[in-house]
Structures are given as C-alpha cells and as structure tokens.
Amino acid sequence: MSLQDPASRQTWSASSYDTHARFVSDLASAVVEWLAPRAGEDVLDLGCGDGVLTAQLADLGCKVTGVDASEDFVAAARKRGLDVHLMDGHELTFSGEFDAVFSNAALHWMTRPHLVIDGVKRALKPGGRFVAEFGGHGNVAAIVTALRASAKLNGTDPALAGPWFFPSAEVYQEMLEAHGFEVRRIGLYPRPTPLKTGMGAWLKVFRKAYFEQYGDDMERVLAEVVELLEPVLCDAKGNWTADYVRLRVDAVKA
C-alpha cells in the first residue's frame, strides 16, 4: 500500500527527467555542503531519483543507500551500481542504521510529513543528522496559481493542480522539534531557476497527473497554462525562469 496522497501521486520517466530536469541535481551543491559528507558514513538518500547525487555521495566515500517510490528512477539508479530500494518515503523501514538522512527535491511530494519525519528519526542513529532541501512556502507560486486558474476555467479539481507540501521554515521547524529533532539551521532561499527546455516541458514532467486528466484536450490546456505564465516567467528573448523557493534544513536527532 502506498500512503501517497492521490493528488500528489506522480510517475516519472528517467529519460525525460534527464532531458528536462537535470538542473534539480545540478543545483544541489548548497544542500550537499550542509550535509558535509564524510568518508565511511552510512547515509540514506531519501527520494534519490535517478541516483546522480547518490553517486556523488558514494564517490566521496559514503556508504549510501537510496530509496525512491518510482520504479523507473530505482532502475536508473541501480544502473549506476547503487544500492537502491523501491520504497515510499512515508513508510521507511530502517531502524537506527544511518549517520545521516539526506534528501534533495523530494520531500514536497510527500504530503504526510509527520510520517516521513517519524521514519527519518527511526532510520537515524542517535545524534544522526537530517539534512534536506525541498520546496518551501511560496515555491513555484506563479505556476501553482496558473494551474489553479486553469482548473477553475476547465471545471476540474484544484487539488490536482498544486498538491505539494511547501512549508514555511517556522512550520517545518516546529514539526521537527515535535518529533525530538534539534534544528541547527533552517531557512527559505529564493532560487529563480532557468528552464532551458521551456515551461511546457516543465509542466509535462512535474505536473503530469494534472494534464493527463484532460485526455485528448491535454495540449490545449497545457497551452492555456503556458500562456497565463508567459507575462511573468518568460523574458523578451523567450527564456523561461521558474520561481523556485527552497527550504533547506539541518537537524539532529537529539
């Protein structure tokens, strides 16, 4: 059974992700810096995707285990020779095994954060750290607004338009503390993100379930959302920039 909320359920194609979303791992240097990985450490990469960052941690000498809920991503990560399990982040099965749990650009897909934090805490050794980056409050706000407007125009469920968990720093810190973590650093970081392959491609990769509900009408609705966004996220030369805001956190299991 998967505890993922139906609205946030997402399927991934590793090859289309490689073409249209490689920036996700390319822009992760700050969270890796916060992790400060040390050779020999046991690290869990939660929502490891296609394993590009997991492999970087392994190259630094960490003993890394990856988990992801997408079969396609798990297969792609295993092709890199990584130890990766198919697992829903709401249902982590590890117990006291890791010096650190690391996560990049995955936690916003997990809409029951208390279950995730519980599992992270269980997975860590005492004193282990939880270092993560994901979408924070206000993340892709223009995109979410355009998707919700599109749902309204087309008479569909707005929950499918923007299903993500984008907490403020205060809210997430309180959640972590309620689970017995000590938060060492936490903050929101605006990160305007160039979309080299355009907004249509981004929408098709990251909000697939919303557009699929329209069947044969999908391309029309997609064009409508792109048109709504053009005045705010596309410059005069046709370059698109997404309005990302990252929440980055470094906490320890007390």
- What is the smallest separation between the CB atom of 135 and ligand BEZ, expressed in angstroms? 3
- What is the smallest separation between the CB atom of 68 and ligand BEZ, expressed in angstroms? 14
What is the Cβ-side half-sphere exposure of residue 27, based on CA atoms within 13 angstroms? 18
d(CA 19, CA 23): 10
- What is the smallest separation between the CB atom of 236 and ligand BEZ, expressed in angstroms? 26
Residues 231-250: x where in contact with ligand BEZ by CB under 6 A, - otherwise, as a string: -------------x------
The answer to whether 72 and 93 have CB atoms below 8 angstroms apart is no
Residues 148-187: x where in contact with ligand BEZ by CB under 6 A, - otherwise, as a string: ----------------x-----------------------
Q: Which stretch binds ligand BEZ (CB under 6 A): 11-19, 56-64, 135-143, 172-180?
A: 135-143
Q: Read out DSSP for 26-51? A: HT-HHHHHHH---TT-EEEEET-TTS
Q: Does 116 bind ligand BEZ (CB under 6 A)?
A: no
Report which residue's Cβ sits closest to ligand BEZ.
135
Find all residues with CB under 8 Å of 50, minimum gap 6, and list them.
14, 17, 18, 73, 76, 77
Closest CA to 67 of 33, 15, 121, 103: 103
Q: How many residues bind ligand BEZ (CB under 6 A)?
A: 8
Q: Does 108 bind ligand BEZ (CB under 6 A)?
A: yes
Q: What count of residues does the chain have?
A: 254
Q: Does 47 bind ligand BEZ (CB under 6 A)?
A: no
Strand, helix or coil for residue 76: helix
For residues 4 and 124, which CB has a smaller minimum distance to ligand BEZ in the complex? 4
The answer to whether 231 and 199 have CB atoms below 8 angstroms apart is no
Near ligand BEZ by CB under 6 A: residue from 17, 94, 130, 206: 206
Query: Which residues contribute to the site for ligand BEZ (CB under 6 A)?
Result: 105, 108, 135, 139-140, 164, 206, 244
